[in-house]
A and B are shown apart, each in its own frame.
Chain A
């Protein structure tokens, strides 16, 4: 512990660099993933798409079961075969986008499916267009649940991004990996502790965001 502290005092620039790199990867990956997942989640709730929904949800389920290290193992030869750089940022972000999908797709899908049909019928009966029903009723009601999915996805991806350091993506996995290979305890502890704190901080902040984005009417309903 003391060694880690000393390292921190000696090279604070390194730690902040890794942290920023880590955050950058997460931001890009989960940003892309959020857009795809929400769009896909909404799309598969459409009438007559139950079978597609089933397959999409099952496929993203399967993606979640594939260990992240194995996922990198699949993507690297794939990138190589496509003539892309089989190393580093691109592969890492692609994997994280895939891992970020399931929690958000699943939550978006479930939340929209669970909107009370009477509420939707009332909206339609009063002359709301399908788009208005989506943007004014379904999405606001689904937001807290979608946010919970995003929170889950971000926390998972912070962990996976650390493993991505092995394939040269940078981030907080770098000191851990380097420390383990060179038996530098200070590096291991610095990296592992910073990584954990980052995950907790993301979990806490996204939890706050989730609560902040919950419509007031739903909060009061829950209190009852």
Chain B
């Protein structure tokens, strides 16, 4: 557990980088320090491993004041990853990852096993091959993985990360974030993570500490922060496209049209045409006798003779009631008909997600924001 009590940093020239920040990160919790550049988030982070000395206040790790231990011993027990990565260019990937274990004088065999384990964890396989490479021979994404593996070197209970995915292209960044979430689910570290990217914060953090001008403005879960921003600054920072971010927090079940009209696959096409015309729609979901979703019937494919099963378009994408809304939105763009079928675990059609419904949800939240 990490505790910051009234932590303050004043530089010799008088600038106050951090003023009276108090917060607590529980064991196994993922805390994101979020804010615009110059808000003191990086300074706060670096005070935890004493790269920047405190001016006043107190920081404890598992109840021990960090100024009661040797700074090098403290740092060897805390993983540290930064945006510039800072891999040692003259050492192999394996040697880089082994840095802290070597400082701690682990036996050789144990270090070797640990390096392999970590390379596998961050997906650099086969480990024997990657371990012998030099940083210059890796891509940016691979280097950042090595950076994360190196931070985890001696299996520290705490990780400090300063925009570790900041300098990577958006697609690779998304992937690294996903992977990192998977890794975190496995290793359960206590993490303090700095970013200025609200999307990243919402995606990764259990709790977000929003900072401004050296002060802690709000410390809350992502949902709370988005739903109840504490003041104008938080609202501004969370941004104009806050609704899009809020989509992350909504599930399909909350907005889908339940029990939508369907057509059975075994019905003759003439009956289907009548139904389409009566409902005034161009598409209908096709289901079997048990209500399992099979595909879409498109009005333009109708023929005078035959059955629905012969002309229907099999589905390509599906959502479940628990799919986050932002993912559902991108799935809808892939869907042939622009609507998304929502099915349960048995494949039964539970509802439909339509653009019209989504649009309504978005409009509602815009209106709320305008009033707030």
> A127 vs B66: C-alpha distance in the bound complex, in angstroms?
14
- Give, as a whole number of angstroms, the nearest-CB distance from A220 to chain B: 5
> A108 vs B244: C-alpha distance in the bound complex, in angstroms?
53
B312 CB-CB contact with A under 8 Å = no
Determine if B88 and A125 form an interchain contact, defined as CB atoms under 8 angstroms apart.
no
Determine if A121 and B82 form an interchain contact, defined as CB atoms under 8 angstroms apart.
yes
**A window 112-157: CB within 8 A of B:** 116, 118-129, 132, 137, 140-141
> A129 vs B70: C-alpha distance in the bound complex, in angstroms?
11
User: A126-B76, A127-B72 known; 9 other A-B pairs, CB under 8 Å?
Assistant: A118-B86, A119-B88, A121-B51, A122-B86, A124-B51, A125-B51, A141-B90, A220-B136, A221-B89
Give the residue of A118, A122, A126 whose beta carbon is less than 8 angstroms from that of B103.
Answer: A126
Given A127-B103, A141-B90, A221 and B82 contact (CB-CB distance below 8 Å): no
> A24 vs B87: C-alpha distance in the bound complex, in angstroms?
42
A12 CB-CB contact with B under 8 Å = no
Determine if B137 and A124 form an interchain contact, defined as CB atoms under 8 angstroms apart.
no
Given A116-B86, A215-B90, A125 and B134 contact (CB-CB distance below 8 Å): no
A217 CB-CB contact with B under 8 Å = yes
Given A121-B51, A220-B137, A224-B136, A127 and B75 contact (CB-CB distance below 8 Å): yes
- Give, as a whole number of angstroms, the nearest-CB distance from B85 to chain A: 7
Q: Which residue of A lies closest to B91 (CB)?
A: A217
Name 9 interchain pairs, CB-CB below 8 A, sorted by A: A122-B85, A122-B88, A124-B51, A126-B150, A126-B153, A127-B100, A127-B103, A128-B99, A220-B136
In the complex, what residues of B have CB within 8 A of residue A215's CB?
89-91
Determine if A119 and B136 form an interchain contact, defined as CB atoms under 8 angstroms apart.
no
Determine if A221 and B72 form an interchain contact, defined as CB atoms under 8 angstroms apart.
no
Given A119-B87, A220-B136, A221-B136, A126 and B75 contact (CB-CB distance below 8 Å): yes
> A121 vs B51: C-alpha distance in the bound complex, in angstroms?
8
Q: Count the A residues whose beta carbon is within 8 Å of the partner chain — how many?
A: 25
> A201 vs B87: C-alpha distance in the bound complex, in angstroms?
37
Interface residues, chain A, CB within 8 Å of chain B?
116, 118-129, 132, 137, 140-141, 215-218, 220-221, 223-224
Interface residues, chain B, CB within 8 Å of chain A?
49, 51, 71-77, 80, 82, 84-92, 99-100, 103, 134-137, 147, 150-151, 153, 160
Determine if B72 and A217 form an interchain contact, defined as CB atoms under 8 angstroms apart.
no
In the complex, what residues of A have CB within 8 A of residue B136's CB?
217-218, 220-221, 223-224
- Give, as a whole number of angstroms, the nearest-CB distance from B91 to chain A: 6
In the complex, what residues of B have CB within 8 A of residue A120's CB?
86
Determine if A220 and B82 form an interchain contact, defined as CB atoms under 8 angstroms apart.
no
> A120 vs B88: C-alpha distance in the bound complex, in angstroms?
9
In the complex, what residues of B have CB within 8 A of residue A124's CB?
51, 75
- Give, as a whole number of angstroms, the nearest-CB distance from B132 to chain A: 10
Q: Which residue of B lies closest to A121 (CB)?
A: B86
> A141 vs B150: C-alpha distance in the bound complex, in angstroms?
19
> A215 vs B134: C-alpha distance in the bound complex, in angstroms?
10
Give the residue of B76, B91, B137 whose beta carbon is less than 8 angstroms from that of A127.
Answer: B76
Determine if B74 and A127 form an interchain contact, defined as CB atoms under 8 angstroms apart.
yes
Determine if A125 and B49 form an interchain contact, defined as CB atoms under 8 angstroms apart.
yes
Give the residue of B84, B137, B153, B160 whose beta carbon is less than 8 angstroms from that of A118.
Answer: B84
In the complex, what residues of B have CB within 8 A of residue A122's CB?
80, 82, 85-88, 147, 150
> A127 vs B156: C-alpha distance in the bound complex, in angstroms?
12
> A141 vs B136: C-alpha distance in the bound complex, in angstroms?
14
> A217 vs B92: C-alpha distance in the bound complex, in angstroms?
7
Identify which of A118, A126, A137, A218 gathers the most chain B CB atoms within 10 Å of its CB.
A126
Q: Which residue of B lies closest to A132 (CB)?
A: B103
- Give, as a whole number of angstroms, the nearest-CB distance from A221 to chain B: 3
Identify which of B77, B80, B88 gathers the most chain A CB atoms within 10 Å of its CB.
B88
Give the residue of A123, A127, A129, A216 whose beta carbon is less than 8 angstroms from that of B134.
Answer: A216
Determine if B86 and A119 form an interchain contact, defined as CB atoms under 8 angstroms apart.
yes
Q: Which residue of B lies closest to A125 (CB)?
A: B80
Give the residue of A123, A127, A217 whose beta carbon is less than 8 angstroms from that of B135.
Answer: A217
> A119 vs B99: C-alpha distance in the bound complex, in angstroms?
12
> A124 vs B92: C-alpha distance in the bound complex, in angstroms?
19
> A151 vs B86: C-alpha distance in the bound complex, in angstroms?
30
Determine if A125 and B75 form an interchain contact, defined as CB atoms under 8 angstroms apart.
yes
